[in-house]
Structures are given as structure tokens and as C-alpha cells.
Amino acid sequence: MNKNVVIALVLAALLVLGFMMLSKNKQPSTSVVDEITQTEMEDELTANQLEVALSEQNSSGETGTVTLVEENGQVTVTLAMQGFPEDTPQPAHIHVGACPDVGAVKYPLTNLVNGQSVTTLEVTLAQLESELPLGINVHKSASEASVYTACGDLLF
């Protein structure tokens, strides 16, 4: 075989190998695709979710978090409290107005028991936003509903 032919074949093989490596590097790896998909899912979840911190009121020792998640035109409201009285049902509501001086009840929520409550409302986050100001309030008990233990404002 001619020396020039061998050199030409080696160069051709190197060029083909080089193009293959370049084209492989241009394709996103699975982990990059997964990261993009995860980021899109987190963005969508954030757009359909609101977190509200509940601050202590009246030296109750109670604080907590409210998570509002919209799905299929409904909002699920989940309350998780710390410092709650055990085995004592506590009324909770979304009130008109802002903390600490909230007004009338706009949306009643399921009573908290041992610091937990989940309620589904027939409303969207956009509807709630259009009704601002709104505050989420937890009461000491049904018999002491005038005593507020924790409150937080809905902020979009």
C-alpha cells in the first residue's frame, strides 16, 4: 500500500472520530435534561403554590406554616403548627383584612387537631389574590374563639 494512501485513511478516520465526538458533546446529557425538567416542574409548582408563615399572637407559643396549593381549580390549604395544645381542636379561618386585626371570616378552614389541618376550597389562587387583603388566623379553641393564637397574611 502506498504511504500517502495510509496517511489519507488515518486522517479520514481521525476526522470521522472527531466529528462523532463533537456531535456527542452537543447533545445534552440526561442529567441536564433532568435538571431542566425538574426546574420547569418547580416553576410550575411555585406558580400554583403559596406559603404563609403564621406568627405567634397573645403569647400563645404557637407558630406555623400554611401551604396553599392550587390544582384543578381548587386550593388545598394545609396548616402545620408548632407549640399547639394537644388534643384541643382549634378553629382556623381565612379572614378579610390583615393581621393582627383581621375582620370577618371569608373562608372557614378545618379545625386544627394536634397542629394539623387540611381543607379544600372551591377557589383559585388568582381569586384569593383578587380578594386581598386576607389573613389566616388560628383561634385558641371553639369556646375561646376570640383569643387568636397565630396569624399570617396572604402575600402574592
Percent of the chain topping pLDDT 70 = 71
pLDDT value of position 16: 65
What radius of gyration, in Å, describes the C-alpha atoms of the chain? 29
Does position 45 have pLDDT exceeding 50, yes or no? no
Per residue in 49-65, pLDDT (tens digit) is 999 999 999 999 999 99
Per residue in 87-123, pLDDT (tens digit) is 999 999 999 999 999 999 999 999 999 999 999 999 9
Answer for the pair 89, 141: CB distance below 8 angstroms, yes or no.
yes
> Is residue 130 packed enough to be buried (19+ CB in 10 Å), middle (13-18) or exposed (0-12)?
exposed
Average pLDDT, the chain: 86
pLDDT of residue 141: 96
The neighbour count for residue 131, using CB atoms within 10 Å, is 14
Angle, vertex CA 14, rays to CA 11 and CA 20, nearest 5:
145
The domain spans of the chain are 3-44, 48-153
Residue 19 confidence (pLDDT) = 64
In terms of phi and psi (left: phi > 0; alpha: psi -120 to 50; beta: otherwise), the region of 28 is beta
* 10-25 pLDDT, tens digit each: 666 666 666 666 666 5
Mean pLDDT value of segment 138-156 = 96
For the domain spanning 48-153, the CATH number is: 2.60.40.200
- The residue type found at 45 is L
- pTM > 0.85: no
Residue 38 pLDDT grade (very low, low, confident, very high; cuts 50, 70, 90)? low
Model confidence at 47, in pLDDT bands (50, 70, 90)? confident
In the chain, which residue ranges form alpha helices assigned H by DSSP? 3-26, 30-47, 125-130
